[in-house]
Structure 1
Amino acid sequence: MRRGESKTTRGANRSSPSSWKSSYIGYGLVVGFVLMLLFLMVSSQFSNSTNVYFGRPATISKTDSVPSARHQEDHAGQEGGSREMEGHYREKEKVARTHTEQSTGQHQEKKVESEQQRAEKNPIEEQLGNERNSDKWEERHQPEKKDRIEFSEFGGGTDDFNNVANTKPICDTSFGKYDICVLDGDARAQGGAVPTLTLVSPRAPRREWKIKPYSRKYLDGLKAVTVKSVPNPDVVDAPQCTTRLNVPAMVIELGGLTGNYWHDFTDVLIPLFIGARRFGGEVQLLVVNLLPFWVDKYKRIFSQISRYEIVDLEKDHGVVRCYPHLVVGYGSRKEFTIDPSIDDTGVGYTMVNFTEFLRHSYSLPRDRPIKRTNHQRPRMMILERTNSRKFMNLPEVVAAAEAVGFEVTVAGRPRASYDEFVREVNSFDVMLGVHGAGLTNCVFLPTGAVLVQIVPYGRLENIAKTDFGDPARDMGLRYIEYGIAADESSLLEALGKDHPIIKDPIAVHMSDWGKVAEWYLGKQDVRVNIERFRPVLMQALEHLH
């Protein structure tokens, strides 16, 4: 060592051999990593090309490229029938697909392994020959489309083989007004004094319900049917089919309040439209407490609902009818209307659709009212009641309506056939009447026509709004309401201004509904104050501009 050499130089000279060794080690690690990566890639390709599942090459379908959460979401959409979630599911599917397509080969390898593990843990799928790889599986598990009939509403017939324990019951009895059961799959209807509807499915737990298939299940005098699910198709568990029809069926009950004109529509015809119109006529009706004369009155409507013979289920002895889909019960959440957000119509029908359906059923010519011109007077139908809530000054009301520009016709109980009367109603632009069942005829008015409801005295505005006001707007009609004052009511003359019926209607409502029905609905007539009423007539005319 030379005496002038610095300590730093000496240190560098001593460390150089060690640095070379570190470099050699680093190169070796890089080479080893590259070789390992090549080995993994070759192994992955070999595994993908030779992997066999029950004798068939393993493939990854478009459906399998989406994580298993998609599979669960599809079933949630089918069982719950929730259209609000459809867009959410599709958006999540889009994100999942994008993420999968951008994944590396390593992620694809892990995905194949997870598919193998899931298949090995699914003995039911093995028995069906890997149903998920079949052509039909992808079609069945597509997100629900608005114009597509989806049978499965509450469960029972769900195809979720992996989640049998969580299958929803086939009957939904949670709503206080009506029950609905959906038997999707092998459904069997056995007639008799107490009809029995059976779903045969190994996926549905053994259960039994007593169902009143009417839109107001709380009424007395209704008849119940037995609905049950069983796992086996043998004679012990299920009646054997004697006839089979490859269309859906629907079990409904008449009776109840059927026969009251407003209840005919509110309790039967509108719920029937909600439950059966989605099938486009390809549905058979099985009826408990069949009323032939009543069905004959509305035969035009029933012929559009179903192209098949109506079955009197109570007299269908010795016959077991089998269907791929069976609905038991019907109803609507609101009175005399359809709310597509809460009434499951299958395709989002509204009350406007119902009135269009009626016009088609009766071949009615007018779907719009006339627009007022100098050459044509709009037509007004005034409904005349014969019992309570009569007009005590009907001629004055007619004269006032004519004075503002209407051509007026007074209509009482129809003398012609029902079909002819319906056609007559459709010819009017305005309907006017005191609150009552006769206003139900507004369903045959053209969309955009005017309904004027005169509300009797006695704080009946909420009832009037529920029974006709909201439904009229839902039909696309222009709605006007006129409330009778105490001095326009026959009750004032009969009872005096200090009587509780006159003085405190709210207290009457709070104390006894029977008194409300007896006095305000049953014993009241009206004398319309023409000066006070004239602006209502003018408003009706203006709506037709």
Structure 2
Amino acid sequence: MVQYLRNHRRKKCEQKYLTEDEEYCHTFLIFCVCKRKRPRLLSFFFFSLLSCSFIFLSPHLFYSNTGLSLLHSRELSSSISKVSRLATGMIVCDRSSFRSDICIMKGDVRTHSASSSIFVYESTHRTSFINYVASILKEKEEEETVEELQHEKIKPYTRKWEKSTMDTITELNLIAKKDSLMSMQHECDVQHEVPAVFFSTSGYTGNFFHEFNDGILPLYITSQHLSSKIVFVILDFHDWWLKKYGNILSQLSDYAVIDFDEDTRTHCFPEAIVGLRIHHELSINSSLMEGNKSIVDFRNLLDQAYLPRIHSLIREEEERKAREKFLESMYHTWKIPFKVGMKVHKTVHQLKMPTLAIMSRNGSRSIMNENFLVKMAVKIGFQVEVLRPKRTTELAKIYRVLNSSDVMIGVHGAAMTHFLFMRPGSVFIQIIPIGTAWAAEEYYGAPAKKLGLKYIGYEILTTESSLYDKYELDDPVLADPTRVTEQGWQITKKIYLQGQTVRLDLIRFRKQLVEAYDYIIDRI
């Protein structure tokens, strides 16, 4: 993948967005009332009532009282942190990151999905009295135009250096307008009392690595400091994505998710974050997080997300085993044929054995002698479970297995993202095919160490790769993989990711398994 750092020239904001001067408002309102040719006494009474109302209501009309600020996160740059000291109706964007842009909107934020736009006005509250005044002045206001103070464009996804990927992301218009009674024409259908986070689930969604790396983890980084008092507004929405990750989202937000494209109602918020912040591959920089949150804290959130469902699965299994036990007792008592579940009984000794989970693959980068690997692991002393997850496999079921496993083995690929489901202190063995050493360490090895796993990287020999049968030993594909991978992502993908399988040298690989076994036994 070609990566580039886009230079950004920030515009200096020279204009302060202030609320209407009271004297101007009074003069303007008197003019409009007189235009209606009301009796002087009635006009005087109306003027007095209006003046008093402004005195008592002005703190609510012209200042935000939202208790949740998006600006508490230490991750935000100094330019964004200035928003808290400015008037409402502002948009401040940080485009300095190589990976993503992020904008903050503060004030009366309103969605308009038909035009892929989000508007922000200065005021955040309007009373019924002001609505009454607005109806009086509507005829006059319709003759005037509302000044557009600021217009930003953003694609809320975390791979901004990849043009082909970003072309699949909906672009949002962020527009700040001068507060005006004409904004009442853009009325709120749903008023929210908490901020919003806008992001896209397009791009590489569908790839397990990217779903976590580009979406779930950045969402945690961006929103966790708001303590679930946040509404997620999703562009390029997928029902299956929400079903798959709903357990995690429910830990980050107390509110229902909004489908920006399909929900055409005007949703109003006191503040909004547009875009997500990302640190590095499958990791969190705790120095940039409120409360020094780390990847271990994210792992704890996964526990909270999946444990209720896991407990439910356990209860279901216990009920099933109770039925099987009853049938077995009936067999011994009445000689009734019994077949269900007889082969799944385990001895007490087996339950205490270190557990090993193998993430199995089909097709490219699969382990061709996987069955012999399983037999060898059992002889060493492991209780082995082979996982073959599908796209439709419930994540709670995978999490349950890996969360209770001592060791996980797998060949480099998106499925290695499952190391996030392992407990700190467990062992992660990554089998590294030819030509994937850098990616294996960058995307999975280094992040696994940050989570507190014991990481073992097993780089296969040329004789353990199916490429050995396709190329001569002096061919760059085998002799100098770096030279080949430098030709670009498509070449790398075709040859090393899609074009090879693995046949482990079991004698050589046995050393890694024994090392993992001894490590786990020493910790028991």
Residue of 400, 403, 407 corresponding to 2:379:
403
Matches within 5 A, 1:191-270: 191-192=113-114, 194-201=115-122, 206-217=149-160, 218=162, 219=165, 220-235=167-182, 239-270=186-217
Q: Distance between the aligned counterparts of 2:184 and 2:351, measured in 1?
A: 73
Q: Distance between the aligned counterparts of 1:198 and 1:179, measured in 2?
A: 18
1:160 positional shift: 4.7
Q: Distance between the aligned counterparts of 1:248 and 1:529, measured in 2?
A: 55
Q: Specify the code of the residue in structure 1 equivalent to 2:267.
A: R
1:259 positional shift: 0.7
Residue of 292, 295, 298 corresponding to 1:348:
292
Q: Specify the code of the residue in structure 1 equivalent to 2:415.
A: G
Matches within 5 A, 1:366-385: 376-385=352-361
Give SS of 1:341's match.
helix
Aligned to 1:394: 370
Q: Which deviates further from its counterpart, 385-394 or 441-450? A: 441-450
Q: Which deviates further from its counterpart, 373-382 or 493-502? A: 373-382
**Contact 2:286/2:293 (8 A) holds in 1:** yes
Q: Distance between the aligned counterparts of 2:214 and 2:227, measured in 1?
A: 21
Which is higher, the Rg of structure 1 or of structure 2? 1
Q: Distance between the aligned counterparts of 1:248 and 1:271, measured in 2?
A: 17
Q: Larger RCO: Structure 1 or Structure 2 (Cα < 8 Å, ≥ 6 residues apart)?
A: 2
Q: Distance between the aligned counterparts of 2:78 and 2:107, measured in 1?
A: 9
Q: Distance between the aligned counterparts of 1:168 and 1:456, measured in 2?
A: 51
Residue of 219, 243, 260 corresponding to 1:296:
243
The unaligned stretches of length 5 or more in structure 2 are 1-53, 124-146, 312-348
**Contact 1:501/1:508 (8 A) holds in 2:** yes
| Deviation digits for residues 369-408 of structure 1 (CA, Å, limit 9, x no counterpart) | xxxx998211000111002001121122222322322111
1:335 aligns with 2:257: no
Matches within 5 A, 1:3-18: none
Q: Specify the code of the residue in structure 1 equivalent to 2:227.
A: G
Q: Specify the code of the residue in structure 2 equivalent to 1:207.
A: Q
Paired residues in the alignment total 396
Indicate how the Cα distance of structure 1 residues 181 and 492 shifts in structure 2: closer, same or farther if over 3 A, else same.
Answer: same
Q: Distance between the aligned counterparts of 1:174 and 1:497, measured in 2?
A: 45
Q: Distance between the aligned counterparts of 2:373 and 2:171, measured in 1?
A: 48
Residue of 478, 499, 503 corresponding to 2:475:
499
Aligned to 1:65: none
Give SS of 1:402's match.
helix
1:527 aligns with 2:497: no
| Deviation digits for residues 431-462 of structure 1 (CA, Å, limit 9, x no counterpart) | 0010012212222222211111011012x222
Aligned to 2:8: none
**Contact 2:350/2:383 (8 A) holds in 1:** no
Give structure 1 regions of 4+ aligned residues with deviation exceeding 4 angstroms: 148-153
1:433 aligns with 2:378: no
Q: Distance between the aligned counterparts of 1:172 and 1:265, measured in 2?
A: 23
Give SS of 1:473's match.
helix
**Contact 2:380/2:514 (8 A) holds in 1:** yes
Q: Distance between the aligned counterparts of 2:283 and 2:180, measured in 1?
A: 40
Give SS of 2:486's match.
helix
Q: Distance between the aligned counterparts of 1:152 and 1:325, measured in 2?
A: 18
**Contact 2:430/2:457 (8 A) holds in 1:** yes
| Deviation digits for residues 334-370 of structure 1 (CA, Å, limit 9, x no counterpart) | 112212235xx4433211111110011011779xxxx
1:525 positional shift: 0.8
Indicate how the Cα distance of structure 1 residues 436 and 149 shifts in structure 2: closer, same or farther if over 3 A, else same.
Answer: closer
Aligned to 1:443: 420
Aligned to 1:310: 257
Q: Distance between the aligned counterparts of 1:243 and 1:237, measured in 2?
A: 14
1:156 positional shift: 6.9
**Contact 1:182/1:326 (8 A) holds in 2:** yes
1:178 aligns with 2:100: yes
Q: Specify the code of the residue in structure 2 equivalent to 1:184.
A: K
Percentage of identical aligned residues: 30
Q: Distance between the aligned counterparts of 1:153 and 1:378, measured in 2?
A: 51
1:181 positional shift: 0.7
Q: Distance between the aligned counterparts of 1:455 and 1:357, measured in 2?
A: 29
Indicate how the Cα distance of structure 1 residues 322 and 374 shifts in structure 2: closer, same or farther if over 3 A, else same.
Answer: closer
Give SS of 2:232's match.
strand
TM-score (norm 1): 0.66
1:237 positional shift: 10
1:178 positional shift: 1.2
**Contact 2:244/2:394 (8 A) holds in 1:** no
Q: Specify the code of the residue in structure 1 equivalent to 2:401.
A: E
Q: Specify the code of the residue in structure 1 equivalent to 2:275.
A: G
**Contact 1:187/1:322 (8 A) holds in 2:** yes
TM-score (norm 2): 0.68
Residue of 427, 445, 453 corresponding to 2:430:
453
Residue of 85, 102, 115 corresponding to 1:159:
85
Q: Distance between the aligned counterparts of 2:292 and 2:177, measured in 1?
A: 32
Give SS of 2:205's match.
coil
1:469 positional shift: 0.8
The unaligned stretches of length 5 or more in structure 1 are 1-126, 367-372
| Deviation digits for residues 147-196 of structure 1 (CA, Å, limit 9, x no counterpart) | x99999715743257xx9xx99611122232111111233222222x321
Q: Distance between the aligned counterparts of 2:251 and 2:103, measured in 1?
A: 23
1:268 positional shift: 1.0
Q: Distance between the aligned counterparts of 1:173 and 1:150, measured in 2?
A: 11
1:501 positional shift: 1.0
Q: Distance between the aligned counterparts of 2:119 and 2:77, measured in 1?
A: 16
Q: Distance between the aligned counterparts of 2:393 and 2:259, measured in 1?
A: 29
Give SS of 2:182's match.
coil
Q: Distance between the aligned counterparts of 2:259 and 2:219, measured in 1?
A: 16
C-alpha RMSD over aligned residues: 3.6
Q: Distance between the aligned counterparts of 1:196 and 1:168, measured in 2?
A: 15
Indicate how the Cα distance of structure 1 residues 406 and 246 shifts in structure 2: closer, same or farther if over 3 A, else same.
Answer: same
Indicate how the Cα distance of structure 1 residues 180 and 150 shifts in structure 2: closer, same or farther if over 3 A, else same.
Answer: closer
Q: Specify the code of the residue in structure 1 equivalent to 2:381.
A: G
Aligned to 1:39: none
**Contact 1:189/1:322 (8 A) holds in 2:** yes
